Amino acid sequence: MEELEHTCPHPRTTLTKPAIFARETSCDCRAPHEKLTIAQACRGTPVDRPVRVYADGIFDLFHSGHARALMQAKNLFPNTYLIVGVCSDELTHKFKGFTVMTEIERYEALRHCRYVDEVLRDAPWTLTPEFLEKHKIDFVAHDDIPYSSAGSEDVYKHIKEAGMFVPTQRTEGISTSELITRIVRDYDVYARRNLQRGYTAKELNVSYINEKKYRLQNQVDRMKEKVRTVEEKSKHFVYRVEEKSHDLIQKWEEKSREFIGNFLELFGPDGTWKQVFQERSGRMLSYALSPRESPCNSPPRELSPLRSPSPPSPPARWHSARPSPPNSPKGASASISSMSEGDEDEK
């Protein structure tokens, strides 16, 4: 910032200042006002003797077509001082019609056009020689289309005959009438918009029935906007769900492949479970074909014992105890013989 302050010798100012308003007492040009031809003006004039060009109009709803016409007027000659005359509301309403902007608004709009050097308020509808002499006007700039008004087929006819007229080109596709036509054509849209912004029906010159209709239409539009918003959110939600479902399906497929691979590895034709089953089947078969031998320290079995030694005589209440069931027929016979032998001893 400090470097910029050092490099810039002058403080910052606006690029252009608003044009001045013309005073009632002619212009401030002190050089003798000699009549110029177009050829002389094109060659250039001294600095203190600019070519004074006058352009007049209504300039309602100031737009780019107006600005381009003033740009052409400003660039007609190397050294041009452009004076723009703006007609008042009284003259305009009398000879042309009602305007959208007031004369004060139109004056101010012209002041802020960078091609304008001076604004002449309450300009005359028809240019008289006295008016041209008073403001030391050299040439009048306007489009070449005959402008019929105030009972004349062309109000610039005498200017053209005097050799003081310089034509400019109109910008096609835009004009004040075109802008007003757009507003009238889309009147309902603009009326509804301004009602929504807080203007009253009286300010808009809207009837009671139309006011209710416009407000209902505004409510319908708001509902449509809400529905559209919900639809957009729903589409976004569905899109996210689809993305999540694709991810889940992909993960499920990966897990399924992994599960199937593990299953085949375990239970397949050459799987681990088949090998374990074959090994266990072989062991069981070998056990069935070659059973284990009896241990060497087991007591020898008697082929035909006659009597087995009798157990020691029980106490006095031996008959109350229940004999244990025999494990084998041979044991049962031995127990019977011992019991008979005991009876003989008692007898």
Per-residue pLDDT of 169-195, as tens digits, reads: 999 999 999 999 999 999 888 888 888
CA pair distance 75, 81, nearest whole angstrom: 10
Instruction: Say yes or no: 163 and 184 in one domain.
Output: no
- Assess contact for 102 and 137: CB atoms under 8 A: no
CA pair distance 106, 103, nearest whole angstrom: 5
Per-residue pLDDT tens for 261-313? 777 777 767 666 667 767 777 666 666 666 555 555 555 555 444 444 555 55
- Assess contact for 150 and 95: CB atoms under 8 A: yes
> Which CATH number characterizes residue 132's domain?
3.40.50.620
Q: Which whole number is the average pLDDT over 146-166? A: 87
Residue 57: per-residue pLDDT: 95
Identity of the amino acid at 143 = D
Instruction: Kindly write down the DSSP assignment for every residue of 139-178, as one continuous string.
Output: EEEEESS---BTTBS-TTHHHHHTT-EEEE---TT--HHH
Residues in the chain: 347
* Nearest Cα residue to 119 out of 130, 133, 103: 103
Residue 294: per-residue pLDDT: 54
**150 falls in which pLDDT band (50, 70, 90)?**
low
Instruction: Say yes or no: 199 and 118 in one domain.
Output: no
**Structural domain contains residue 293:** no
* Nearest Cα residue to 52 out of 144, 113, 120, 121: 120
Instruction: Say yes or no: 25 and 120 in one domain.
Output: yes
Instruction: Say yes or no: 160 and 202 in one domain.
Output: no
Q: Count CB neighbours of 27 within 10 A.
A: 16
**Structural domain contains residue 308:** no
Of 238, 254, 270, the residue that ends a domain is 270
Kindly report the backbone phi and psi dihedral angles of residue 49, in degrees, each rounded to the nearest multiple of 5, phi listed first: -130, 70
* Nearest Cα residue to 111 out of 17, 25, 28: 17
**Whether residue 342 has pLDDT greater than 50:** no
Instruction: Say yes or no: 68 and 138 in one domain.
Output: yes
Of 219, 248, 270, the residue that ends a domain is 270
Of 142, 168, 194, the residue that ends a domain is 168
More confident residue, 2 or 92: 92
**Structural domain contains residue 337:** no
Per-residue pLDDT tens for 184-243? 999 888 888 888 888 998 888 888 888 888 888 888 888 888 888 887 888 777 777 877
Q: What is the DSSP letter of 80?
A: E
**91 falls in which pLDDT band (50, 70, 90)?**
very high
- Domain extent, residue 123, equals 20-168
Residue 8: per-residue pLDDT: 43
